[in-house]
Amino acid sequence: MNGKRDSSVYIPTKERILNAALRLFSVKGFRGTTIKDIAREVEITEGAIYRHFRSKEEIIEHLVRRVTGEIRELVKRKVLPEGDVVSRAKALAEALLNYALDNPDSFRFLTVYHILKENGGAERLPGGLLIETFREAYRKGELGLHPEVAFGLVTGSVEKLFILWELGMVRTHRDILIEELKYAVEKALS
């Protein structure tokens, strides 16, 4: 493959490894994906992978930093600037669902990582930043639901809609789906 996905675009080997690992981890899981699988997907040797990464765990950590960084940046740009907690929750639902639909491998990867990661990793995930927003609104009396319930309502709804979308069970246009999700979030939190 010589570092190219097609004849016109050069993709460095390290990035090809990360992209392949992301796809495989999101579909086969962490235990189900081996270095050999990643090498086969990239069409390189296992040794070539070890020139870029010490282990599968290092690849996972790199991907966690990349995906959480993307979501954290999205939250800072699209969610936190919103005024009240309901507006932030609606912006969160929209931003997360758009991210999931535009980046299905990344969203699946983060969901699997978040579910499987035991204590010690949650503070690095963007959810920590968001849950604090809900907690502050709750302390100020701006949110009638417990912060964890409100956060779970938004993120759980996005995750389920993403799954239904991937299974082909959603026949609604994406824009309508997002607007209805925002409406539901607003009604639930108001």
What domains are defined for the chain? Answer: 4-50 (1.10.10.60), 64-189 (1.10.357.10)
Please, where are the H alpha helices in the chain? 13-28, 35-42, 46-50, 56-74, 85-102, 104-116, 127-139, 147-166, 174-189
What is the average pLDDT across 18-34?
92
pLDDT given at position 120:
45
List pLDDT tens digits, range 82-94: 889 999 999 999 9
Contact 135, 80 (CB under 8 A): no
Q: Which amino acid is at 21?
A: A
List pLDDT tens digits, range 144-178: 899 999 988 998 999 999 999 999 999 999 999 99
List pLDDT tens digits, range 98-125: 999 999 999 988 887 765 554 344 445 6
pLDDT given at position 133:
83
Cα separation, 102 vs 128, whole angstroms: 23
pTM over 0.85: no
Contact 42, 16 (CB under 8 A): yes
pLDDT given at position 1:
44
